[in-house]
Structure 1
Amino acid sequence: MVIFIGCAPSKIIKMHRLAAVLFYVLIVGNYNESLAGPTKSASPGSKAEDLETRCTGHCFSKMSSVMDYVAANQERWNTCQEITENVTRADKNQILIQMASLQEAVTNVKTSQEFQDVKLDRMDRQQMAMQESLPKAIPQDLEKKLGSMETQLAALQNELASMQININNHHLVSKDTQTSQASTQEVLSSLKDSLESKYIKLERQQIAMQESLKMTVVQDFEDKLSRTEAHLTRLENKLQSIQSKIDNHLTAISETLSKLNTKSIPPGFKLIGSRFFHIQEDIKLNWADAQDSCRRMGGYLASIQNREEFDAIVAKLDNSEKYFLGINDRDKKGDFVSVASGRPASFFKWFPDEPVYNYDQERCIAIQDGYMFVNNCTYKKRFICQTDDKI
């Protein structure tokens, strides 16, 4: 709490009291004047006479001191009001800062609570997983052992009942023999104590076994879980290391292949699918001249290895034009071989009813509109070249 010297409330109260006294003196003076009877009508000049002739000298002196006090302290009171307003404004700013800090604290508490909720959910899932795996961890012969213990307890109870019956029968036969009766009672009591002791001992063993089993199962489960997590972590790190090595190896192979391809691929050939081809669109040649043109460029008339490669090449062709391939059966009709490798061609996509031989010169395969057909080898057509001689 801040106290400003010169702005004490007691002085302000005293000022208000003096103003009240002044007001009271004026009222009393007017009242006494009215009791004195009517006065002569005032002349116009009498309105200008000062307060000292209209009031007694004592009244004027009191009023003068009050007015002097008010005039002397007016500036100080104004300053006090400004200071009070500044203090109020500073307090308001401080309250706003505290509210912002409180809001931030509430946000942090909410974030912490959300984190705790996530952690509790994870603990619940772990507990459920532990409960599900607990029956698997319990030894399979536990129920057999418990059943055997229950069988032993039942046998003891039957033995006790049988002994009780025998003792009762013996008691009826030798009822008049007091000594024998006492002995029988002692034997019965001893047997009952022994059986009860065995029964209690078995119960305690059973409870201890169950408790020990629970603790063993939980501890074993936690140990197995820890070992499993550690093993998984090691495997993950190992897999990441292997993956990194494979990626580096593949990168090196890719760079090597890129360098080799750059050096060995003739100009004008482009990668289509997994191999390099040149589609001749500018000139048309017969089949033999097209083969010679491909050889001069550093390649061979093309053969197709599979459906994916065929579709990729067809997508780049003009469907209204025919293109020679390096597949023919000029040596033996119906035995189509690749001119690049000399081996039988591996892929065909025939036009319906093809191959159809209208003339003996129709021994060279061409492509049009996505299909293959046999065509006259002497006709001039566009053609397709490949770089390798393996297909």
Structure 2
Amino acid sequence: MFKYPTYFLYLFVLLDPQAAQENSCHKVPLSERIKQRGEFTLVDFEPQLKAILKNPHIEVLGKIEGHVGHTVNKIQSMQSVTLNQSKALLADLDLQSKLEYLDAALQKANQALHCSLENKKVTSTGKPPPEFQKLGSRYFYIERHVRQNWFDAADKCRRMGGHLATPQDEDELYLIRKELIARWYWLDISNLVNKHQYISLASGKSVSYLNWRNGEPKNSSNANCAYLYAGDYYTYHCSDRNYFICQAA
């Protein structure tokens, strides 16, 4: 606690330092004066203030702050470089994805062309293959045991003397459906040639009767082939393995 006499004494020392030195007594440590008198002046803290100002850690702290600022600038510049590199990497990945998509599309188109050309070679002999059964006015074979992708199913039908089936109307679809169990069956319907048009590869013409389920056909670049399930048509990946229905040539 500061006391007024102390201030007067301090003022006297400032005005006449020589007299103060002549009349000065043995210096009592600060801690003792505080303990004895319960008072002190700002001049008592002069040595501590000088020690703080001369503390080498202040210089070290300044250097550290300088290094931190330099590091922050480096990080900011690296962030800009990293961002540009990330954009370039994403562009490369996007290009790679497009190339893979085009390669897959080319393979599917090539397979579709092969199936179409092979189907053209199948001619009617006037006598249906023995495995086929008459449903309405035409003959069909229903595969119930082996599941194949759309292209292999088309090849199997061709080797049996026919091609994948394309129901011509609601009545024929009804007769076929009566012979089926709850499974998925490939049909000769796809948009492999033109994504906006579903055709029969056997005839090369647009399919006149399409009994799409609600929400079909899917707006997807991968769902190109049609299958029959519970009387409705759906689109899915041609590589999927399903049962299938053949139709005699």
- Given the two structures, how large is their TM-score scaled by the length of structure 1? 0.31
Q: Which has the higher contact order (CA 8 A, sep 6+)?
A: 2
Of Structure 1 and Structure 2, the greater helix share is in: 1
Of Structure 1 and Structure 2, the greater strand share is in: 2
